[in-house]
Amino acid sequence: MAEINQERATFAGGCFWCMVEPFDERPGIYSVISGYTGGTTENPTYEEVCSNTTGHVEAVQITYDPDIFSYERLLEIFWKQIDPTDAGGQFNDRGESYQTAIFYHNEKQKELAEKSKRELEQSGRFDNPIVTPILPASTFYKAEEKHQDYYKKQSFHYKLYKKGSGRQDFIERHWRKPVDKEKIRKKLSPIQYHVTQENGTEAPFQNEYYNHEEEGIYVDIVSGEPLFSSKDKYDAGCGWPSFTKPIDKHQVQEKTDTSHGMIRTEIRSTEADSHLGHVFEDGPTDRGGLRYCMNSAAMKFVPREKMEELGYGYLSYLFE
């Protein structure tokens, strides 16, 4: 059995409830723990940290395999969750315990963090200076159990909080790419446009990938974001390409679809918001029981041997 390569990353991004979900359950990420770091008090409680008297900030510590999910990708996710120009807290949460920071565990992490911060500063995405500090990691104290995986345990309250605090709107305002329908229309074929932009469905057994067996990945036809792997593809007999799971659950979104007199779960791509298909609970039971029934017209296939050349080399672990 191959040895698992594990490293740690520590990020402070304001309320730690909102910093777990973006990293959790991604390929190569083994755990995301909520806790406290950067202060002087040993084993602080939530109340002590929130009183802003311990020097600690709320943070998450991530255990990950850098060969599968790189530190650079962790940094990309981190910057997209916070307001890096706010030195006094995050959104509605004020005070030093809610300040942002990157805590590096080695010199390589320090160099990569500083590089990513420079690139963000030079991007012009924010009008004000980037104030998030890059600091050496210190003792990390795990928070109380009720704060672990809060987005799962208290999902309704979590969603209300993320929206009500202003974080969700801030993220969408600064990071969601504007949709240019005419540009997309010119780029796609009529059936590709109908499927992805008008929630259409292509004909079964008369589409490009329903019986395609080559090794590689399937990416969003609009944005190129990776969606599914041939390793998870199977013949469901329905006439559309079917998969047991996405490469990364964060790259697809589920929405309730009540069209055509049915209640179904629609699958859309996260970045481009393309309609991809639907997910059903009649998949192989030994592989999770789900069937992601996708439209070929919503995807482009990238052969395994071209993944590196086309910028998907970081997903080569899927076939090793």
Instruction: Tell me the per-residue pLDDT of 203-244, one tens digit each, with 9 for 90 and over.
Output: 999 999 999 999 999 999 999 999 999 999 999 999 999 999
Instruction: Tell me the per-residue pLDDT of 269-315, one tens digit each, with 9 for 90 and over.
Output: 999 999 999 999 999 999 999 999 999 999 999 999 999 999 999 99
Q: What is the CATH number of the domain that holds 268?
A: 2.170.150.20
Q: Per the structure, how many domains does the chain have?
A: 2
Q: Percent of the chain beyond pLDDT 90?
A: 94
Of 157, 175, 193, the domain-final residue: 175
Asked if the model's pLDDT at residue 127 lies above 80, the reply is yes
Of 175, 197, 228, the domain-final residue: 175
- Encode 141-202 in three state secondary structure: EECCHHHCCHHHHCHHHHHHHHHHCCHHHHHHHHHCCCCCHHHHHHHCCHHHHHHHHHCCCC
Asked if the model's pLDDT at residue 104 lies above 80, the reply is yes
Query: CA-to-CA distance for 306 and 117, rounded, in angstroms?
Result: 31
Rounded mean pLDDT, 18-38: 97
Rounded mean pLDDT, 69-92: 97
Residues 188 and 297 in one domain: yes
Residues 185 and 166 in one domain: no
Q: Is 18 a catalytic residue?
A: no
- Whether 1 is in a domain gets the answer no
DSSP string, 220-264: ETTT--EEEEGGGEE--SSSS-EESS-S-GGGEEEEEE-GGG--E
DSSP assigned state of 300: E
Q: Do 268 and 276 contact (CB within 8 A), yes or no? A: yes
Domain range for residue 245?
181-319
62-76, 223-237, 251-265: segment of lowest average pLDDT = 251-265
> What are the tokens at 187?
């780029």
Instruction: Tell me the per-residue pLDDT of 4-14, one tens digit each, with 9 for 90 and over.
Output: 789 999 999 99
Backbone dihedral angles phi then psi of residue 179, each to the nearest 5 degrees? -95, 120
Rounded mean pLDDT, 32-50: 96
Q: What pLDDT, on the 0 to 100 scale, is given for residue 5?
A: 84
Q: What is the CATH number of the domain that holds 68?
A: 3.30.1060.10
Give the β-pairing of 100-104 and 134-136: parallel
Q: What pLDDT, on the 0 to 100 scale, is given for residue 3?
A: 61
Residues 228 and 300 in one domain: yes
Q: What pLDDT, on the 0 to 100 scale, is given for residue 158?
A: 96
H or E element in which residue 118 lies: helix 107-123
H or E element in which residue 217 lies: strand 216-220
Out of 18, 50, 238, 293, pick the active-site residue.
293
Q: Is 293 a catalytic residue?
A: yes
| Closest to 25 in 3D by CA, of 201, 195, 151 | 151
Q: What pLDDT, on the 0 to 100 scale, is given for residue 178?
A: 81
Q: For all residues of the chain together, what is the average pLDDT? A: 95
Q: What pLDDT, on the 0 to 100 scale, is given for residue 1?
A: 42
Out of 15, 18, 50, 238, pick the active-site residue.
15
Asked if the model's pLDDT at residue 2 lies above 90, the reply is no
Query: CA-to-CA distance for 314 and 69, rounded, in angstroms?
Result: 8
Residues 278 and 169 in one domain: no
Rounded mean pLDDT, 21-47: 96
